[in-house]
A and B are shown apart, each in its own frame.
Chain A
């Protein structure tokens, strides 16, 4: 299974079999009794590719591993195993020079506007530091560069001297975006960039992100728990559950013809702003299992209305069901015929 050639272009970012386990410390008693080491299997074998200028959305609920995946792509977390390949090259995280270059290629925007900016630094200091560190402009041009960055994200030079606590949530998020753009990245990981904002401001930021992408040819890895938010901005969507990708498809296809039972449940669960479309019953029962010991075989089987014996014994592999539509379910065949959701 490779995603290497999409439209004949080599992808900008390729992630292969990414695994990230967080070991849980054993107590002395457990160690003496030789209990096995436990680990939170946050990401358990994830592969995908993002082509230049395209947006891949990584969607799932809490605990599915999407945030950890985003962090590993930037080496903010060191992967337990797997490859992160940018423009065809693997990078050794201990190679400082190569990592510096990598930092300019891949950037990140965080979820929480309140903690993503240093409260003791003005906007101009935060942005200026990034520009200076990567030598994006020389000293004499720095102020101008800061102002240009501010204008790019819909603010102005008069915001440069402000401290974060003088700005609104939406404005802070714009600064976070400006900071990421300061180094002219090729791909930006967006980690729930609008989840902490008011609805009326969310749309502003989404519009901004779209405009920036179109103007600069940026690729996005858009991480979100909200299927609604990603529909308009993403080209492809990958749905994650408990550390693995269960379905991946171009956006329209995923929303119109979802094949994995979890995707279908996720789509059905999102409340729609239309009182005439009320659900009779919630589409899914129970709570997600613990990532310390995911169920054998298919991880979703404990909540899947269609689970059968085979699901417990055999782990379904992510296979290309239709062109560019990948599903990890033994019975995907059966869902193809039923109508799509809403």
Chain B
């Protein structure tokens, strides 16, 4: 007595459809690093955007009479040697820090992503030459090279950001190159070629979207490094120039009065630590979540 299978279309397994987005958010919510890092980063972004509303005092103008005032009622975190409110300067400093770091990473990617893809596609001696150049760059700490560049071309945020941006190219280009090399051999890339799609279309519509995950992960970790490097340059007077509020310069100023008025340096240092930690955690969390091996649920 055979039964008509099609007629009895009773679903026996739950068909839960998860789009990649909803799975991504689920995983992000359940990953502690991503959650903490994400919250910190979100907080920083909010502070940067809402700076004018949050800072009660002018970050660039101060009452000299209140120079190095300790934390208290008038100045929540105290004042620096020019009498400027440290809290307000920290808040505005978020803008320069994030803005500078984002600029650096942006520059490195605008240059690095195309180079990485090109090296992977051309192969041969082009690829070899490019990777050797990267290896040379990577052998030096970016900071050292940035000193040299900035010392040669003069200080200031834009030049420092440009110099660091160029030096960060290998970080992103290497990753993009590896991913592209793998994608090139995948059957769906061959299928695209078999359908006659041109190389441009294949790169933009098929290969690049698959590079997004690793790019995001590298970006957030690079932002953390960029924050640090930029702060270091500013600390040495080669980056952001006074009177612009910046954590690095604040640290530098605070260092001089460390024993008498530690609150200046501590506040700036703390801000740097939190920001770098936040981006690092977020980057780690994103890497866990976006790991393709976890794509199978």
Does A162 reach chain B (CB closer than 8 Å)?
yes
| Minimum distance in angstroms from B297 CB to a CB of chain A | 8
Please, how many angstroms separate the alpha-carbon atoms of A165 and B18 in the complex?
A: 10
Residues from chain B with Cβ under 8 Å of A119 in the complex: 210, 295
| In the complex, chain A residues 114-158 whose Cβ is within 8 Å of any chain B Cβ | 115-121, 129-130, 133-134
- Which listed residue (A116, A129, A130, A166) contacts B187, Cβ 8 A? A116
Who on chain B is nearest to A126 by CB?
A: B188
**Interface hits, B280-297 → A, CB 8 Å:** 295-296
Interface status of A112 (Cβ within 8 A of chain B): yes
Residues on B with beta carbons closer than 8 Å to the beta carbon of A165: 20, 295-296
Cβ–Cβ < 8 Å partners of B212 in chain A: 120
List, in ascending order, chain B residues with CB within 8 A of A183's CB: 195
B206 within 8 A of A: yes
Say whether B190 contacts A103, CB under 8 Å.
no
Per the 8 Å Cβ criterion, residues 179-230 of B in contact with A are 186-188, 190-191, 193-197, 201, 205-206, 209-210, 212
Tell me whether B193 and A134 are in contact (CB under 8 A): no
Contact with B along A16-44 (1 / 0, CB 8 A): 00000000000000000000000000000
**Which residues of A sit under 8 angstroms from B10, Cβ to Cβ?**
none
Main secondary structure of the interface of B (DSSP, over half): helix
Is A76 touching B194 in the complex (CB atoms < 8 A)? yes
Contacting residues, chain A, for B197 (C-beta < 8 A)? 129, 133
Q: Which residue of A lies closest to B201 (CB)?
A: A133
Contact assessment for A118 and B206 in the assembled complex, using a CB-CB cutoff below 8 Å: yes
Instruction: For A115, list chain B residues within 8 Å (CB).
Output: 186-188
Select which of B17, B190, B201 is within 8 A of A166 by beta carbon: B17
Cross-interface CB contact of B20 among A107, A130, A163, cutoff 8 Å: A163
Q: Are B205 and A116 in contact (CB under 8 A)?
A: no
Interface residues of B, count at CB 8 A: 22
A43-76 toward B: CB 8 Å interface, digit per residue (1/0)? 0000000000000000000000000000100101
Question: Whole-angstrom distance between the alpha carbons of A100 and B186 in the complex?
Answer: 22
Q: List CB contacts (< 8 Å) of A81-107 with chain B.
A: 99-100, 103-104, 107
The answer to whether A258 has its CB under 8 Å from any CB of chain B is no
**Contact yes or no, A162 B17, CB < 8 A:** yes
Q: Does A176 contact B (CB under 8 A)?
A: yes
Find chain A residues with CB under 8 A from B296 CB.
165
- The answer to the question of B19 belonging to the interface, with a C-beta cut-off of 8 Å to chain A, is yes
- Contacting B at CB under 8 A, from A168-182, are 176, 179
A103 touches B191 (CB 8 A): no
Contacts of B209 in A (CB 8 A): 118, 120-121
Query: Chain A's nearest CB lies how many Å from the CB of B296?
Result: 7
- Whether A318 is near chain B, meaning CB under 8 Å from some CB there, is no
A181: shortest Cβ distance to chain B, in Å? Answer: 12
CA distance A116 to B191 in the complex (A): 7
Bound Cα distance from A115 to B295, whole angstroms: 13
Question: Are B20 and A176 interface neighbours, CB within 8 A?
Answer: no
A331 interface hit (Cβ, 8 Å): no
State how many angstroms separate the Cβ of A86 from the closest Cβ of chain B: 14
Residue in contact with B196 in the complex, picked from A111, A120, A133, CB distance below 8 Å: A133
- Report Cα–Cα, A115/B188, bound state, in Å: 6
Chain B proximity of A120: nearest CB distance (Å): 4
Chain A hits for B206, CB < 8 A = 118, 121
Is A255's CB within 8 Å of the partner chain B?
no
> A100-B196, A103-B194, A133-B195 given as contacts; is B188 within 8 A of A118 (CB)?
yes
Residue pair B187, A103 in contact (C-beta under 8 Å): no
Distance of A207 from chain B, by nearest CB (Å): 15
Q: A119-B210, A165-B296, A166-B17 are in contact. Are A134 and B196 (CB under 8 A)?
A: yes
Shortest distance between the CB of B186 and any CB in chain A (Å):
5
Candidate in A116, A118, A129 with the most chain B CB atoms within 10 angstroms: A118
Bound together, the chains give a CA A120 to CA B191 distance in angstroms of 15
A195 → chain B, closest Cβ, in Å?
13
Min Cβ gap A248→B in Å is 25
Contacts of A129 in B (CB 8 A): 197, 205
CB distance from B14 to the nearest CB of A (A): 13
Instruction: Rank and list the top 3 A-B pairs by shortest CB-CB distance, nearest first.
Output: A103-B196, A116-B187, A110-B187
On B, residues with C-beta under 8 Å from A are 17-20, 186-188, 190-191, 193-197, 201, 205-206, 209-210, 212, 295-296
* A interface, CB within 8 angstroms of B: 71, 74, 76, 99-100, 103-104, 107-108, 110-112, 115-121, 129-130, 133-134, 162-163, 165-166, 176, 179, 183
Can you sample 5 A-B contacts with CB below 8 Å?
A76-B193, A119-B295, A134-B196, A165-B295, A165-B296
